[in-house]
């Protein structure tokens, strides 16, 4: 196996507190990393680096672990430009817009859906994302949900069954029958292709009892829960997530003090999705409140054609710092190690011996520039599983 030494890194975020400055970012200056095949073999000061087969000079740039985008909806067709335009003229966002994408997705061929996934993944990779989770949820029939998951599973291990995204128009008169379908035949067809099960627990989507029934059925089939919780209004989603030991409660925009306490005490990560608040002109989630209470926070894109059509983790970092009370260090941790926690993974989101060789070099001297220089394409080079996948012109 070929070994590669990446040296002359001015500032390296390792997310390993045993390294460097003793903060959660484990920041090393004048650092080097050795990659061996798909794994990291060595991390430390550049002047102590072992020899390797190949050497890459980072020329004094900063490096970070590849972003872990733990929440996206990439298996879809069509777009919702008109809905976005109307919203920017004052129309409020509602869960019902999902139906537009459901119609387009059902009408699309497998090839069209696959091409879309590939396109948005390449876009995300160019911006430093080396791991992503993605969901079904725009099919809402047994056939269409299962095919969405099969397509997603060709691109990532982190696949989520979201048959309970909304009650589709064909079941509008009988939501209970739809819950029965999701927990029965649809779950049987989908479980083999997924690791996670998710529910949109919200007014206009699924209430707490329905969400509990769906997630419990998923657990019985070996899927682990994560929940779209407390996005558009206060509600039972966060408490349910903690009660069921969901890996993550996602959105967390409207939280009571009891919700914040539950997240601080349980193992459920609070995943914040600022692209959604940006694109729906909604109130920001209060990351500071969660962090000060001791909750673990992840940042993700929620990339989807309705509420957050961005694949950019750097954009989400900039929003989180500007509008959600996070420091740049906290935001970068949440977009890397936080995402890994939300997926219950220890091999990604960290630059440590034995971890997956996923990292991004920034055309900047420090990770802080991701928030300091918003909208600037700072991701220069990306290694994913030890292979150099992105090389920007300099
Ligand atoms: O996470 N909240 C539910 N699902 C998506 C929105 C999907 C859509 O509007 O198409 C979200 O924001
Ligand atoms: Fe979502």
End-to-end CA distance of the chain: 29
For residue 349, the model assigns a pLDDT of 98
CA 243 to chain centre: 22
- Please report which confidence band the pLDDT of residue 26 belongs to, taking 50, 70 and 90 as the band edges: very high
Residue whose CB lies within 8 A of the most ligand 1 atoms, among 136, 140, 165, for a mutation test:
165
Please give the average per-residue pLDDT across 203-213, as a whole number.
97
Shared domain check, 387 and 299: no
Distance CA 367, CA 329 (A): 8
Q: Which residues contact 212 (CB under 8 A, 6 or more apart)?
A: 240, 244
Distance CA 253, CA 49 (A): 45
Ligand 1: residues with CB < 6 A are 97-98, 101, 200, 228, 231, 276, 302, 304, 306-308
Percent pLDDT > 70 in the chain is 100
> What pTM was estimated for this model as a whole?
0.98
304 CA distance to ligand 1 middle (Å):
7
Please give the average per-residue pLDDT across 87-94, as a whole number.
92
Shared domain check, 287 and 255: yes
Bridge partners for 304 per DSSP: 308
Shared domain check, 144 and 46: no
Shared domain check, 379 and 318: no
Shared domain check, 227 and 163: yes
Q: Find out whether 104 and 77 touch, Cβ atoms under 8 Å.
A: yes
Helix spans in the chain (H): 81-88, 98-107, 110-126, 142-153, 175-183, 185-190, 208-220, 237-243, 257-265, 274-279, 287-293, 313-323, 328-333, 339-342, 369-372
Protein residue with least CA distance to atom 3, ligand 1? 200
Shared domain check, 189 and 205: yes
Q: What is the pLDDT of residues 51-89, one digit of tens each?
A: 999 999 999 999 999 999 999 999 999 999 999 999 999
Q: Find out whether 365 and 355 touch, Cβ atoms under 8 Å.
A: no
Question: Left, alpha or beta for 25 (phi > 0: left; psi -120 to 50: alpha)?
Answer: alpha
* Phi, psi at 60, each rounded to 5°: 75, 20
Q: What is the pLDDT of residues 237-273, one digit of tens each?
A: 999 999 999 999 999 999 999 999 999 999 999 999 9
> Which two three-digit tokens encode residue 322?
């500007």
- Which atom of ligand 1 lies closest to the CA of 231? 2
Q: Give the three-state DSSP class for 55.
A: strand
Please give the average per-residue pLDDT across 200-212, as a whole number.
97
Q: What is the DSSP string of 172-222?
A: TT-HHHHHHHHHTHHHHHHGGG-SEEEEEESTTSB-HHHHHHHHHHHHHTT
Residue 12 maps to which CATH number?
2.30.40.10
Q: Find out whether 362 and 370 touch, Cβ atoms under 8 Å.
A: yes
Residue 255, classified by CB atoms within 10 Å of its CB into exposed (0-12), middle (13-18) or buried (19+), is: buried
- Domain's final residue, options 322, 342, 362: 342
**Ligand nearest 102 Cα, by number?**
1
Q: What is the pLDDT of residues 112-153, one digit of tens each?
A: 999 999 999 999 999 999 999 999 999 999 999 999 999 999
Shared domain check, 73 and 62: no
Please give the average per-residue pLDDT across 176-194, as a whole number.
98
Q: Find out whether 227 and 240 touch, Cβ atoms under 8 Å.
A: yes
Protein residue with least CA distance to atom 9, ligand 1? 306
Q: Find out whether 299 and 271 touch, Cβ atoms under 8 Å.
A: yes
Shared domain check, 382 and 306: no
- Please report which confidence band the pLDDT of residue 307 belongs to, taking 50, 70 and 90 as the band edges: very high
DSSP one-letter code for 344: T
Shared domain check, 164 and 94: yes
Shared domain check, 322 and 232: yes
* Phi, psi at 164, each rounded to 5°: -95, 55
Asked whether the predicted pLDDT for residue 95 surpasses 90, the reply is: no
Q: What sign does the CA torsion over 207, 186, 301, 70 have?
A: positive
Shared domain check, 155 and 59: no
DSSP one-letter code for 51: P
**Ligand nearest 275 Cα, by number?**
1
For residue 241, the model assigns a pLDDT of 98
* Phi, psi at 370, each rounded to 5°: -60, -30
Shared domain check, 10 and 111: no
Distance CA 237, CA 250 (A): 9
Protein residue with least CA distance to atom 8, ligand 1? 306
- Please report which confidence band the pLDDT of residue 382 belongs to, taking 50, 70 and 90 as the band edges: very high
- Which atom of ligand 1 lies closest to the CA of 80? 10
Residue 219 maps to which CATH number?
3.20.20.140
Domain that holds residue 281: 68-342
Q: What does pLDDT average to over the chain?
A: 97
**Domain count of the chain?**
2
Cα torsion through 37, 42, 43, 44, rounded to 10: -150
Asked whether the predicted pLDDT for residue 391 surpasses 90, the reply is: no
CB atoms within 10 A of CB 30: 14
50 CA distance to ligand 2 middle (Å):
44
For residue 94, the model assigns a pLDDT of 87
């Amino acid at each position: 196996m070929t070994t590669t030494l990446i040296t002359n890194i001015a500032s390296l975020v390792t997310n390993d507190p045993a390294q460097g400055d003793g903060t959660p970012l484990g920041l090393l200056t004048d650092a080097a990393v050795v990659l061996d095949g798909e794994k990291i073999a060595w991390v430390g000061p550049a002047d102590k680096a072992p020899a390797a087969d190949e050497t890459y000079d980072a020329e004094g740039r900063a490096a970070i672990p590849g972003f872990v985008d733990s929440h996206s909806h990439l298996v879809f067709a069509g777009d919702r430009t008109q809905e976005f335009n109307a919203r920017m003229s004052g129309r409020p966002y509602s869960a019902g817009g999902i139906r537009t994408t459901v119609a387009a997705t059902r009408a699309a061929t497998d090839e069209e859906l696959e091409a879309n996934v590939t396109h948005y993944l390449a876009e995300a990779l160019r911006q430093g994302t080396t791991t992503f989770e993605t969901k079904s949820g725009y099919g809402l029939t047994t056939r269409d949900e299962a095919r969405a998951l099969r397509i997603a599973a060709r691109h990532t291990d982190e696949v989520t069954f979201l048959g309970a995204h909304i009650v589709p128009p064909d079941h509008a008169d009988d939501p209970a029958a739809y819950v029965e379908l999701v927990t029965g035949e649809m779950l049987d067809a989908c479980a083999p292709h997924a690791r996670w099960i998710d529910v949109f627990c919200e007014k206009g989507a699924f209430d707490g009892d329905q969400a509990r029934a769906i997630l419990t059925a998923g657990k019985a089939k070996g899927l682990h829960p994560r929940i779209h919780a407390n996005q558009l209004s206060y509600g039972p989603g966060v408490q349910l997530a903690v009660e069921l030991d969901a890996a993550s409660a996602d959105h967390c925009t409207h939280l009571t003090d009891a919700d914040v306490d539950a997240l601080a005490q349980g193992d459920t990560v609070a995943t914040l999705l600022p692209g959604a608040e940006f694109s729906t002109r909604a109130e920001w989630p209060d990351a500071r409140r969660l962090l000060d209470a001791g909750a673990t926070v992840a940042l993700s894109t929620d990339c989807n054609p309705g509420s957050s059509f961005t694949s950019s983790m750097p954009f989400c970092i900039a929003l989180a710092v500007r509008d959600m009370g996070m420091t740049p260090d906290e935001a970068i941790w949440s977009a890397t190690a936080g995402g890994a926690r939300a997926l219950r993974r220890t091999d990604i989101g960290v630059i440590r011996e034995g971890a997956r060789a996923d990292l991004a070099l920034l055309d900047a001297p420090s990770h802080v520039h991701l928030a300091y220089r918003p909208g600037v394409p700072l991701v220069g080079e990306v290694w994913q599983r030890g292979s150099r996948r992105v090389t920007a012109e300099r």
